[in-house]
A and B are shown apart, each in its own frame.
Chain A
């Protein structure tokens, strides 16, 4: 019997049938009531069908490929764990980069999942709605796989078990929290520019590409496979962000100034968020592969120039912070590590002054700045450590009201001066790390007066567990904040002399000797 085989549909037809054709115009309620948020940011959208999704990924193909990625990922994680893979990392100091990375990132992935679920619900067109839905599921997957990856390390090393509690409370996690809180409380299009464009397209390469490649170089197959598995979704996310920008700009020329302001704002906010990635690359990977400065040049300056050169045809200008970030690439990783080193009682990961050969590496990668501004401080601190007088700054830091970084960056053009800015709003003074953060505040002060700043909250007596009398005359906020954070004292302080150092040496000896 002859069977007639239907011709397989092409990619474009399949995408149209399974995405666009599944949407409909509502009749019981008007469309603007069903999608109430798409208008209030001031953008003019005339034709949602003009939204392109170049990947043309349909839901059935999405599940198929994501399932394949998960199978690969968990096979590698199992093998790594079964083989005591944690003992094959270059050096136990490496574990601290995981404590920082995997302790800070999963809650942000969860916020991204929530954000894309909310934004997907608000998008009128079926194209962006489906793409947002896929991205929400991706972000939830990253949240879960990162926690599964921490789980094995958490059996052996201190300081990894309270990241969820610490996320909304600890000083150094506030920059990421504030970044996502700001994005998720904005309108749907601003969220897309914040996360989809500025973070995913312009900046995420710095986070995942050289850093995860660095994890691989340091023998950490678990973080590498989780990172690369997450990154395999990012190309799709980047495409969504870029399509959103093009869509907004093509819909109406009046959208340009709104979009430009968001690009300026979020490129800067993302840049500040990445200062800690710089520190991880330059100071926390025992085997270094690329300096933060080099990564910035490849993935931000060159790639950004290509992107913004291309977007010029819409009238988009390069983000106004661009030149400042180029100047700062010589400084931020050093300033950030110095900022962490001086707070040994306030992080669930260990700190070190780099070894002499590591200082030489930094000198060679930063010939213009490292020897002149930063090496003398680090060498002085190494000397103090040897004399048993480890430097410890016990004061509360001053934080930027917008990015919540501790104020530690230099005045543009003058590396010897700290940059301070301030604005007065309703009679109260607010402080900033930079002109760009001040501009963001001045545009929406009513939003940023609500920022959670750990040092302010501690001084107001809000960071103590129940039973502590915060009104007692001798109340010292610093004495209670570690309990409030549930900070494991074994996880704080210097790497030298830590449980991690002793245990790793003992376990590695057991694994290699009889």
Chain B
């Protein structure tokens, strides 16, 4: 099994929508709630899609806004206008 790529956010209303979007787009996602923060692990590849986040938030969303809530990541990053992905052993 591939190692987990992960991402952690400060817990707030925006990150709640982002995490919901991750769970929808990554069926293997494991969400762990910790004091003041939330961490999401996905084996091998974690994808955040702008369109799904926008649907959850009900507004336009620029993926670079993730930077406001980010705590940490694990995996090789690739970012475009539409997708933010973290991968191991790609």
Task: Please report A residues at the B interface, Cβ cutoff 8 Å.
Answer: 10-12, 54-57, 61, 65, 68-69, 72, 204-205, 208-209, 212-214, 216-217, 224, 228, 231-232, 234-236, 238-239, 242, 289, 302-303, 305-307, 309-310
Task: Please report B residues at the A interface, Cβ cutoff 8 Å.
Answer: 3-6, 8, 10, 34-37, 64-65, 67-81, 88-89
In terms of DSSP, what is the predominant structure of the interface of chain A?
helix
A–B pairs, 14, beta carbons within 8 Å: A56-B79, A68-B68, A72-B68, A208-B71, A209-B71, A209-B72, A216-B35, A217-B36, A228-B10, A231-B70, A289-B34, A303-B74, A306-B88, A309-B3
Which residues of chain B are near A214, meaning CB under 8 Å? 35
Question: CB-nearest residue of chain B relative to A15?
Answer: B79
In terms of DSSP, what is the predominant structure of the interface of chain B?
strand
Are B36 and A213 neighbours in the complex by a CB distance under 8 Å?
yes
For A302, A306, A309, the residue with the greatest tally of chain B CB atoms inside 10 Å of its CB is: A306
For the complex, what is the distance from the CA of A205 to the CA of B39, rounded to whole Å? 12
Are A310 and B3 neighbours in the complex by a CB distance under 8 Å?
yes
Which residues of chain A are near B34, meaning CB under 8 Å? 213, 289
| Total A-B Cβ pairs within 8 A | 92
Closest CB of chain A to B37's CB: distance in Å? 5
For the complex, what is the distance from the CA of A69 to the CA of B71, rounded to whole Å? 13
A209-B8 in contact given A231-B72, A306-B3, A309-B88 (Cβ < 8 Å): yes
Closest CB of chain B to A504's CB: distance in Å? 22
For A55, A204, A236, the residue with the greatest tally of chain B CB atoms inside 10 Å of its CB is: A55
Q: Which of A69, A239, A309 is within 8 Å of B73, CB to CB?
A: A239
For the complex, what is the distance from the CA of A455 to the CA of B21, rounded to whole Å? 55
A61-B72 in contact given A10-B81, A310-B3 (Cβ < 8 Å): no
Closest CB of chain A to B13's CB: distance in Å? 13
For the complex, what is the distance from the CA of A55 to the CA of B34, rounded to whole Å? 26
Which residues of chain B are near A65, meaning CB under 8 Å? 64-65, 67-68
Q: Which of B4, B8, B79 is within 8 Å of A54, CB to CB?
A: B79
